[in-house]
Chains A and B, each alone.
Chain A
Amino acid sequence: MKPRTLLIGVAALGLATSALGQLDFGRLGDLAGKLKDNAKDLGKVVKGATGIGPEEEKVIGDSVALEIAGKYGGLVRTPAVMQRVNLVGRALARYSDRPELNWRFAVLDSDSVNAFSAPDGYVFITRGLYALAGNDDALAGILGHEIAHITGRHALKIVARGEFLTGATNLVAASNSKVGNINAQLQQFDAGIDKIATTLFEKGFDPSTEYEADRNGHDLAKQTGYAPGGLRSVLAQLQQRGGDPKKTFSTHPPLNERIKRLPDEPAPKT
């Protein structure tokens, strides 16, 4: 994609999400006026590496997290599980490249084996994967991988690259209807969330992004003091167990390739 197209697309998302942050359905007219004003400042809303600033990231993160919780059976509400996953998760997050994010870790009530992250510090692992993390070193390996997706802004980069944004710049100018503008903005925003959800649930990140998350997650776990073979041991367990590939890290690269690319370190003691 040409840089200019990317810039325009990113600016449009900024506009859409800033507006969404203030959305009040009872005052659509006022908001439409505000949107027009905001449109003048398109050039100003380009922020950060992906062009998406902290306020936008919160809205996107919350919405993606809703999709994840909705699709994977909701959350396991067991206090001991929550305590463990958040203690290990926050210990890691403290030494991550974005230690000040509002980090939240949870277990999804699904027997599939997978893990997901959403922008702004949401990390989810399924009950099926949590069951394989018999010790904190293994759990740290899994969570470290997801933390690396967030600190690397991998999901946000999908949105910033997304073709769905390219037509968004004409939204304000193209429509004479204020309500029409807002509906169009909402549709545009929802399409962006769909794009991230499709990547998370169906397509997966590209393999190089996954290997990067494996490597950075491994390094984070090691630096925090967890046994560095944690993630590799979980992946090896899964490989040994076999089973339905559709239910085991179905959106990630092949297990053998991921194992091969991680350092051959001893599995943590159980």
Chain B
Amino acid sequence: MKMNLSSAARLAVLLGLLGTSAVLAFEAGHAAYTKRVETNLLTEPRPLAPLAGKLGYRRKVTINEVRGGWLRVSDGPAGGWVFAGNLAEKQPDEIKGADGLPLSASQTTATAAARPLTPAANDYAVRRNLGEARRDLDWLQAQCKALTPEEVNAYLQAQKKGEFQ
């Protein structure tokens, strides 16, 4: 197919726009998925609104309404408002353990608070003579542990980020 430069440029711009809008393309009538161990459904589209219910990991919800960055969703009889950033457009992978059986998100890395290096990685550090790097990562873990979820929440509120926009 022959294409002159300006049509090619227009197509490139269009493809670029399509690509960049993909993640933010929640629409009423479409489906979305929960991606946290627990997702709060709120009675109103604001972060500190009363709780209407909770949904577990990988639940498929229907989007009934979009209001700014907020979505009114339902999952059977359960329904409420969720900040769009708390949902995924694609269903998250099912997580399986070493025995091949499905795990709940709460059993995974996930919910894991800061943790020390795995024993196997410690052995790797010894084999590869990475003792200094191991001390660095131990320090990093301690620093990250010291920064609490409450502090992150306070930052979001103060900076008007996430659902506090």
Residue numbers of A with Cβ under 8 A of B are 14, 17-18, 20-23, 25, 41, 43-49, 53-55, 57-59, 62-63, 65-67, 69-70, 74-75, 77, 79, 82-83, 86-87, 90-91, 94-95, 97-106, 120-121, 136, 186, 189-190, 193, 215-216, 218-220, 222-226, 261-263
Contacts and interface: CB of A to CB of B under 8 A. Distances in A.
Given A23-B123, A74-B132, A104 B110 contact: no
Contact of B120 (A17, A86, A101, A223): A17
Contacts of B143: 79, 82, 86
9 nearest A-B pairs in the assembled complex, by CB-CB distance: A100-B110, A62-B121, A95-B85, A44-B100, A20-B120, A219-B23, A70-B133, A69-B133, A47-B96
Contacts of A189: 120, 124
A66 B134 contact: yes
B114 A102 contact: yes
Given A215-B19, A261-B16, A53 B110 contact: no
B155 A102 contact: no
A59 B120 contact: yes
A67 B137 CA distance: 11
A99 B35 contact: yes
A96 B36 CA distance: 10
A91 B100 contact: no
A220 B98 contact: no
Interface in B108-165: 108-115, 117-121, 123-125, 127-128, 130, 132-134, 136-137, 139-141, 143-144, 147, 151-152, 155-156, 159-162, 164-165
23 contacts: A17-B120, A41-B99, A47-B95, A55-B97, A59-B121, A65-B137, A66-B121, A66-B125, A75-B136, A77-B139, A90-B147, A95-B162, A97-B35, A97-B88, A100-B109, A102-B115, A105-B144, A223-B84, A224-B85, A225-B164, A225-B165, A226-B161, A263-B20
A44 B101 CA distance: 8
Given A20-B123, A23-B123, A48-B96, A223 B133 contact: no
Interface of B: 16-17, 19-20, 22-24, 35-37, 69, 83-86, 88, 90, 92-100, 103, 105, 108-115, 117-121, 123-125, 127-128, 130, 132-134, 136-137, 139-141, 143-144, 147, 151-152, 155-156, 159-162, 164-165
Contacts of B111: 100
B103 A54 contact: yes
A87 B137 CA distance: 18
Contacts, number: 191
Nearest to B87: A95
Contacts of B140: 75, 104, 106
B111 to A, nearest CB: 5
Given A41-B100, A53-B97, A95-B85, A220 B109 contact: no
Given A95-B86, A97-B88, A189-B120, 12 more contacts: A20-B123, A22-B119, A48-B95, A54-B110, A55-B97, A66-B117, A66-B124, A98-B92, A101-B109, A102-B144, A225-B160, A263-B17
A57 B98 CA distance: 12
Contacts of A63: 120-121, 124
Given A54-B110, A102-B114, A219-B20, A66 B105 contact: no
B147 A86 contact: yes
Contacts of A94: 85, 152, 156, 162
A97 B120 contact: no
B81 to A, nearest CB: 16
A91 B156 contact: yes
B165 A21 contact: no
Contacts of A186: 127
Contacts of A75: 136, 139-140
A193 B110 CA distance: 22
B19 to A, nearest CB: 5
Contacts of B96: 47-48, 53
